[in-house]
Chains A and B, each alone.
Chain A
Amino acid sequence: MAAFTNITIGQYLPGSSFIHRLDPRTKLLLTLFIIVILFLVESFVGYGLVALYIAAFFALSQLPVRYVLRGLKPLVIIILLTLALNVFMTPGEVLWKWGFLTVTEEGLVKGAMMGARLILLIIGTSLLTLTTSPISLTDGIESLLRPGKRIGIPAHELAMMMTIALRFIPTLLEETEKIMKAQMARGADFESGNLLRRAKSLIPLLVPLFVSAFRRADELATAMEARCYRGGEGRTKLHELEYMPRDYFALSVSALFMISVAWMF
Chain B
Amino acid sequence: MSIELRGVSYTYGQGTPFAHKALRGIDLTISDGEILGLIGHTGSGKSTLVQHLNGLLKPTEGHVLIDGVDIGAKGTKLRDIRRRVGLVFQYPEHQLFEETVSADVAFGPKNLGLEGEELEQQVKQALQLVHLSYEDLGNRSPFELSGGQKRRVALAGVLAMQPKVLVLDEPSAGLDPRSRDELLGLIRELHEQGITIVFVTHNMSEIAQLAQRLVVMDRGKIVMDGTPREVFSRGDELASIGLGVPEITRLTRQLRRGGIDIPEDILTIEEAKEAIVQWMNQRKGAN
Q: Which of A16-24, A92-100, A179-187 contacts B (4 or more CB under 8 A)?
A: A179-187
A256, CB-defined interface residue at 8 Å: no
Hey, what's the 0/1 contact readout for A173-216 against B, CB within 8 Å counting as 1? 00000110111111111000000000000011001100110000
B94, CB-defined interface residue at 8 Å: yes
The A/B interface has a contact count, at CB < 8 Å, of 66
Count of interface residues, chain A, beta-carbon cutoff 8 Å: 23
Hey, what's the 0/1 contact readout for B70-90 against A, CB within 8 Å counting as 1? 000000000100110011110
In the bound complex, residues from chain B placing their C-beta under 8 Å from that of A234 are: none
Count of interface residues, chain B, beta-carbon cutoff 8 Å: 27
B40, CB-defined interface residue at 8 Å: no
User: Which one of B13, B56, B94 contacts A5 once the chains associate, using CB atoms below 8 Å?
Assistant: B13
User: Which one of B17, B89, B111 contacts A182 once the chains associate, using CB atoms below 8 Å?
Assistant: B89
The reply to whether B107 and A204 form a contact with Cβ atoms under 8 Å apart is yes
A41–B107 alpha-carbon span in the complex (Å): 57
In the bound complex, residues from chain B placing their C-beta under 8 Å from that of A64 are: 17
User: Which one of B13, B16, B107 contacts A188 once the chains associate, using CB atoms below 8 Å?
Assistant: B107
The reply to whether A1 and B112 form a contact with Cβ atoms under 8 Å apart is no
The reply to whether A187 and B56 form a contact with Cβ atoms under 8 Å apart is no
In the bound complex, residues from chain A placing their C-beta under 8 Å from that of B82 are: 184-187
In the bound complex, residues from chain A placing their C-beta under 8 Å from that of B13 are: 1, 5
A184–B94 alpha-carbon span in the complex (Å): 14
The reply to whether B111 and A178 form a contact with Cβ atoms under 8 Å apart is no
Interface of A is mostly: helix
Cβ of B81 to closest chain A Cβ, rounded Å: 10
The reply to whether A188 and B111 form a contact with Cβ atoms under 8 Å apart is yes
User: Which one of A1, A13, A179 contacts B95 once the chains associate, using CB atoms below 8 Å?
Assistant: A179
User: Which one of A185, A204, A211 contacts B89 once the chains associate, using CB atoms below 8 Å?
Assistant: A185
A182–B90 alpha-carbon span in the complex (Å): 9
Report the nearest B residue to A215, measured CB to CB.
Answer: B94
Report the nearest B residue to A175, measured CB to CB.
Answer: B94
Cβ of A198 to closest chain B Cβ, rounded Å: 14
In the bound complex, residues from chain A placing their C-beta under 8 Å from that of B112 are: 187
User: Which one of A67, A181, A203 contacts B97 once the chains associate, using CB atoms below 8 Å?
Assistant: A203
Report the nearest A residue to B87, measured CB to CB.
Answer: A185
The reply to whether B79 and A186 form a contact with Cβ atoms under 8 Å apart is no
User: Which one of B12, B17, B158 contacts A185 once the chains associate, using CB atoms below 8 Å?
Assistant: B158
> Can you add 19 more A-B contacts, CB < 8 Å, to A185-B86, A187-B82, A187-B111?
A1-B13, A5-B16, A8-B16, A182-B94, A183-B107, A184-B56, A184-B82, A185-B54, A185-B88, A187-B83, A187-B161, A188-B111, A189-B79, A203-B97, A204-B95, A204-B107, A208-B94, A211-B97, A212-B94
Interchain Cβ contacts under 8 Å between A and B, 27 examples: A1-B13, A8-B16, A64-B17, A67-B16, A178-B94, A179-B94, A181-B51, A181-B89, A182-B92, A182-B94, A184-B56, A185-B56, A185-B86, A185-B158, A186-B82, A186-B95, A186-B111, A187-B83, A187-B112, A187-B161, A188-B111, A189-B79, A189-B111, A203-B97, A204-B95, A208-B94, A211-B97
